[in-house]
Amino acid sequence: MSTKNNSIIEVHGLKKTLRSGSTSLEILKGIDLSIPARQFVVIMGASGSGKSTLLGLLAGLDTPTSGSVVIDGEEISRLTEDELAHIRATKLGFVFQSYQLIPTLTALENVLLPHELHAKDDGRARAEALLASVGLAERLHHYPVQLSGGEQQRVALARAFMLRPPVILADEPTGNLDSATGARVMELLLELNQREGATLVLVTHDPSLAAHAERKVLLRDGRIESDETMRESGTAMSGANA
């Protein structure tokens, strides 16, 4: 189900305030944002601008002080933890800066984990195909400690797409990688996203990553300072390889 105007993400009047004793800090100061299905949006801003807080609210990992977040037609801001877990499992894929792989599971097992928790059919063929698509066909049975940082992040990419979520949220996905490895991981992320047809929301401070987005949203001091369309939907990063 899609929201009005074909938007898969709708944010209305979103505010987030942190309180410590008598002191309060307003992180987000009333965000309104609409993201169409299949769009690649980058969210940028200086440290403290609120971009990671916004992503956490889109993911249902935090609760807004006021306002609402609608994902694929469902308002998530006031759901129970069990209901949020279902939304995160079925509608959202995540790519983190720190990979978040389970060290006691192999690459294949890490990718299969969301499927085993939330689906009933056999997902092994899809997991193997996703790992092959990111160049890890020969590394299925390696544990995270046996993989480089770039390989671990590629496992994380495959895992994010395992259940075919309509939305992928990525938080500085190349932040722990050197520039060449980061560029390759970004190519693979865009290739996977284009093939799978998800909406991609990427938080970064890196202008080179932002240059590949269809749209750039700039936050400053908890507000949207600018919202710029960069290119038409459906374009991809030039020079990407399978």
Domain positions in the chain = 38-64+80-229
Q: For 78-90, what is the mean pLDDT? A: 89
Burial class of residue 16 (count of CB atoms within 10 Å of its CB; 0-12, 13-18, 19+): buried
The predicted pLDDT at position 112 comes to 96
The predicted pLDDT at position 74 comes to 93
Neighbours of 237 (CB within 10 A): 18
5 confidence band (pLDDT: 50, 70, 90): low
Burial class of residue 205 (count of CB atoms within 10 Å of its CB; 0-12, 13-18, 19+): middle
* Alpha-carbon gap, residue 31 to 145, rounded angstroms: 40
For the chain, the average pLDDT equals: 90
Length of the chain, in residues:
242
The predicted pLDDT at position 240 comes to 39
Lowest-confidence region among 109-123, 140-154, 156-170, 187-201: 109-123
pLDDT at residue 233 greater than cutoff 70:
no
pLDDT at residue 228 greater than cutoff 70:
yes
Nearest to 202 by CA among 166, 171, 240: 171
CB contact set of 74 (below 8 Å; sequence gap of 6+):
1, 87, 91
3-state secondary structure of 167: strand
* Alpha-carbon gap, residue 139 to 186, rounded angstroms: 20
pLDDT at residue 206 greater than cutoff 90:
no
For domain 38-64+80-229, the CATH architecture is 3-Layer(aba) Sandwich (3.40)
Mind listing the pLDDT tens digit for each residue in 6-23?
899 999 999 999 988 888
pTM attached to this predicted model:
0.89
The predicted pLDDT at position 208 comes to 85
Q: For 89-98, what is the mean pLDDT? A: 92
The predicted pLDDT at position 20 comes to 81
Mind listing the pLDDT tens digit for each residue in 170-190?
999 999 999 999 999 999 999
